[in-house]
A = this chain, B = another copy of it.
Amino acid sequence: MIIDKLIEKVDLKKSHIVVGLDPRIELMPENFISKKIREGASLSNILFEFNKKIIDSVYDLVPAVKPQVAYYEMYGIEGMIAFRDTIKYAKEKGLIVISDVKRSDIGSTSKAYSNAHLGKVLFSGKQVNDFKTDAVTINPYLGSDTVKEFIEDIKEDGGMIFLLVKTSNKSSGEIQDRISNNKKIYEYVCASINSFADDTLGKNNYHSIGAVTGATYSSELSQIRKLIPRSYLLVPGYGAQGGKGSDVVSGFNKDGLGALVNSSRGIIYAFNRIGKNIGESARIAVKEMNEDINLNLKNVNKYRW
């Protein structure tokens, strides 16, 4: 089960960080791009090579990476080739891959998405779902039948899903915080997560249905931690979006587990701030972030090691 492998890697690397792999040509160093173009590299190769530099520099320091598919989809077929290659390479380097796809649809279409990212698709006896990954993010707005299709694949293949509960953006409250029958909409999503979790519990007492909960909403994070105690929380919003180490500790349980904190721009484009090359700067940024989070966890007696 991916949830068990994930916790194994968290313990091994003493890290709760997910590195967001969001390759954006306009944010990459100009000399990196121009060198690649001179070498005749394809667009997919440039995107992948950028990610490879990051992965090679941080794979021993973090348990997981999170490619955000929007930054691949925008580059068309070339982008999707880089997406496929990035997932494959990150897995080879021993990382758990959480594909940030925020997919959602109904019935057989939801099943198609699940097949695409977590399940099996065979053609002429060959597996053709190139984007097969370890875990995906899911948008719950369409209701529980959309989620159920993914859960079948999880039970069969051991993957994970993270449902969007409370996202890190400013207007997330417009729907997610609305109160209905004395409960916020996101609390209903939490209830559905608990109801889905049967038969997905791993050996560390965490199950395979997680939740996305932004670091930018610290009190909600704390509340959600209690509502879904055995779910892993994927916590975006650290760094570039303003979240700090002290903001994320409420996402953890007393066992020192239970949350993965994501940073994308703050790590992969750290060369702007740190001034070394892409990989070295990312490594320094990850070490700083690991220290920040681990120190803050120590301060609240949630440190595990």
Q: Which of B74, B141, B145, B167 contacts A106 (CB 8 A)?
A: B167
Q: How far is B123's CA from A110's CA once the two chains are assembled, in angstroms?
A: 33
Task: Tell me which residues across on chain B come within 8 A of A143, comparing CB atoms.
Answer: 167, 169-176
Q: Is A109 engaged at the interface, CB distance under 8 Å to the other chain?
A: yes
**Residues of B with C-beta under 8 A to A185:** 175, 178, 180, 185
Would you call A73 an interface residue if the criterion is a C-beta within 8 Å of the partner chain's C-beta atoms?
Answer: yes
A139 CA to B113 CA in the complex, in Å?
15
> Given the complex, which residues of B lie within 8 Å of A43, measured CB to CB?
123, 128
A139 interface neighbour in B68, B104, B109, B121, Cβ under 8 Å: B104
Who on chain B is nearest to A46 by CB? Answer: B123
Determine if A169 and B146 form an interchain contact, defined as CB atoms under 8 angstroms apart.
yes
Query: A74's contact among B80, B84, B121, B141, by CB below 8 Å, is which?
Result: B121
A22→B169 CA distance, assembly (Å): 33
User: B169 contacts A145, CB within 8 Å?
Assistant: yes
Contacts of A131 in B (CB 8 A): 73, 76
Most buried by B among A124, A170, A174, A189: A174
CA–CA, A141 and B102, complex, Å: 11
Question: Is A81 on the interface with B (CB-CB < 8 A)?
Answer: yes
Q: Which of B24, B73, B123, B172 contacts A116 (CB 8 A)?
A: B73
B contact residues around A142 at 8 Å (CB): 139, 164, 167, 169, 171-172, 175-176
Q: Does A37 contact B (CB under 8 A)?
A: yes
Q: Is A192 an interface residue (CB 8 A)?
A: yes
Residues in chain B near residue A192, CB distance under 8 A: 174
CA gap between A77 and B97 in the complex, in Å:
18
In the complex, A6 has a CB within 8 A of chain B: no
A197 contacts the other chain (CB 8 A): no
